[in-house]
């Protein structure tokens, strides 16, 4: 079974965000990616994101579905105050 890899622009298109956002997640360590450049620590990294890593990233960022709806908050009511001065 072959693994599919995405470039940051391809991953950005899949997620509907800008490539800079993907690079920010890579640099922060939130999104795992591999640098496939000839010089690994060079000035121009060539990032590749594994399909499995992208899936785990999305699962990690998913909003958990709440089982019970949150109770509605009661609105604060204001009481009319009598004027201090007549």
pLDDT in tens, 25-40: 999 999 999 999 988 7
Mean pLDDT of the chain: 87
Comparing 26 with 72, the larger pLDDT belongs to: 26
Beta-carbon contacts of residue 47 (< 8 Å; ≥ 6 apart): 7, 8, 23, 26, 33, 34, 35, 36
CATH of 5-61, one of 1.10.1660.10, 3.50.50.60, 2.60.40.420, 3.40.50.720: 1.10.1660.10
Is the per-residue pLDDT at 55 higher than 80?
yes
pLDDT band with cut points at 50, 70 and 90 for residue 58: very high
Give the strand pairing for 47-50 and 34-35. antiparallel
- 47 pairs with which residues across the strands? 35
């Amino acid at each position: 079974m072959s693994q599919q890899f995405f470039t940051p622009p391809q991953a950005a298109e899949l997620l509907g965000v800008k490539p800079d956002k993907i690079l920010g997640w890579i640099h922060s360590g939130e999104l795992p990616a591999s640098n496939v450049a000839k010089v690994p620590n060079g000035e121009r990294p060539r990032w590749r994101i594994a399909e499995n890593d992208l899936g785990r990233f999305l699962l990690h960022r998913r909003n958990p579905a709440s089982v019970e709806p949150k109770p509605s908050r009661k609105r604060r009511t204001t009481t009319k105050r009598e004027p201090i001065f007549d």
